[in-house]
């Protein structure tokens, strides 16, 4: 098979879909030497790939817009069997089988928050196969988009070994002016991340616990007006550290040194930060909704994300019980070993094989 992956999001390795694209491509290069791959890129860094069956092709246009790039870039190369968009978008003209990764269906579940519910439905008939990150997300896609269940494959995300094997480096803490123990959050600031609940729970900890543990929030949050307003209203400016975006090496160290990782999201297609935290040996508290319980299994504490009192009580319980922390670290590390990018890549390649055996639509 000749497979083309349109990896627009390699423009940013350190954020969400960009990290998924990079890790998937690098893992495919390790596990599949049989098929031929061409990776289409717009700009940004190159994935670490040096095998003969994977070619990296950069395509740029004077009119540099994502939608235009998506529609045209794959028409400028030689014919292929499968075109894969590793994120949710559509093509007007297919030259072979068309595979899309739909990570989640948030616009359909939270239309009051996200625009694009109609865009998500548009062009469904052009998709030959869907890949998604979890069984929970698959159920949502089948139920809300009407895609047949046998056309949706699950390829769970993975985690790099470096999260569990990297050497400890406390200098990263000084870089971000972190000078004491801390509770960690990693992610975006969109409303479904439920950061207001996290701040309320932290704010209602005892004065002694707040003095002993700051709250460190990693991600593109420094200009998040709602978050900044909440921090100011709760008078937490001197207790909350917003690092901004960080590269993967710094992220590994920020996980490594955290006392506790908290992720009270209302919905996730997968929840990669939860897996990364477990792989880093950090006790995890997250929500018992959507895919999160599927990822965590019995290795973390699951809470109702609508109840900040419950979240606060579990934070207190964990911070006060060292034996429980040790048990959760061990369980989290064991759970994280069940996930790898190589496994993600093999499941993705299997989806390519399935779609190519079907009659061209």
207-227 confidence digits (pLDDT tens): 999 999 999 999 999 999 999
CB environment 62-76: b (16+ within 10 A), e (fewer)? eeeeeeebbeebbee
Give the pLDDT of residue 62. Answer: 74
Q: Decide if pLDDT at 360 tops 70.
A: no
d(CA 356, CA 96): 9
Q: CA 290 from chain center: how many Å?
A: 14
> Mean per-residue pLDDT for 6-29?
85
> Mean per-residue pLDDT for 332-346?
97
Residues 74, 77, 81, 87, Cα dihedral to 10°? -30
Going by C-beta distance under 8 Å and a sequence separation of 6 or more, which residues neighbour residue 260? 183, 184, 213, 282, 283, 284, 285, 315, 318, 319, 325
d(CA 96, CA 83): 7
Confidence bin at 333 (pLDDT 50/70/90): very high
22-45 confidence digits (pLDDT tens): 999 999 999 999 999 999 998 777
Give the pLDDT of residue 222. Answer: 92
Predicted TM-score of the model (pTM): 0.93
Give the pLDDT of residue 61. Answer: 83
Residue ranges of domains in the chain, CATH in brackets:
2-158+341-356 (3.40.50.2000), 162-336 (3.40.50.2000)
> Mean per-residue pLDDT for 165-193?
94
> Mean per-residue pLDDT for 299-327?
96
Residues 337, 175, 226, 291, Cα dihedral to 10°? 0
Least confident of 12-21, 156-165, 198-207, 230-239: 12-21
Please tell me which of 87-91, 122-126, 302-306 the model is most confident about, judged by mean pLDDT.
302-306
Going by C-beta distance under 8 Å and a sequence separation of 6 or more, which residues neighbour residue 294? 134, 135, 136
Q: Decide if pLDDT at 359 tops 90.
A: no
Q: What are phi and psi of 354, to 5 degrees?
A: -60, -45
User: What does the mean pLDDT of the chain come to?
Assistant: 92
Give, in order, the Cα–Cα distances in Å from 221 to each of 69, 239, 246.
28, 15, 12
């Amino acid at each position: 098979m000749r497979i083309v992956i349109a990896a627009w999001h390699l423009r940013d390795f350190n954020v969400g879909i960009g990290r998924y694209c990079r890790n998937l491509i690098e893992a495919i290069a390790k596990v599949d030497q049989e098929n031929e791959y061409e990776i289409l890129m717009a700009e940004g860094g190159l994935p670490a790939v040096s095998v003969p069956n994977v070619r990296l092709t950069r395509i740029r246009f004077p009119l540099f817009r994502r939608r235009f790039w998506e529609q045209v870039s794959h028409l400028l190369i030689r014919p292929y069997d499968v075109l894969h968009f590793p994120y949710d978008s559509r093509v007007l003209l297919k030259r072979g089988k068309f595979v899309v990764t739909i990570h989640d269906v948030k616009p359909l579940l939270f239309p009051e928050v996200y625009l694009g519910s109609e865009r998500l439905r548009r062009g469904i008939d052009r998709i030959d196969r869907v890949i998604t990150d979890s069984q929970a997300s698959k159920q949502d896609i089948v139920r809300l988009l009407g895609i047949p269940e046998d056309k949706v494959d699950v390829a769970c995300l993975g985690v790099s070994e470096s999260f569990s094997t990297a050497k400890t480096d406390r200098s990263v803490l000084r870089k971000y002016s972190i000078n004491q123990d801390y509770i960690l959050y990693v992610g975006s600031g969109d409303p479904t991340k439920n950061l207001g609940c996290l701040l309320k729970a932290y704010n209602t900890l005892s004065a002694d616990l707040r003095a002993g543990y700051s709250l460190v929030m990693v991600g593109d949050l420094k200009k998040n007006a709602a978050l900044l307003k909440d921090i100011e209203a709760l008078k937490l400016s001197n207790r909350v550290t917003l690092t901004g975006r960080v590269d993967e090496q710094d992220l590994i160290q920020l996980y490594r040194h955290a006392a506790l990782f908290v992720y009270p999201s209302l919905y996730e297609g997968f929840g990669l930060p939860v897996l990364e935290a477990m792989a880093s040996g950090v006790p995890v508290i997250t929500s018992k909704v959507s895919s999160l319980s599927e990822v965590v299994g019995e290795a973390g504490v699951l809470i109702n994300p609508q109840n900040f009192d419950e979240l606060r009580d579990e934070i207190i319980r964990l911070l006060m019980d060292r034996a429980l922390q040790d048990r959760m670290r061990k369980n989290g590390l064991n759970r994280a070993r069940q996930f790898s990018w190589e496994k993600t890549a093999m499941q993705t390649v299997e989806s390519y094989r399935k779609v190519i055996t079907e009659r061209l639509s």
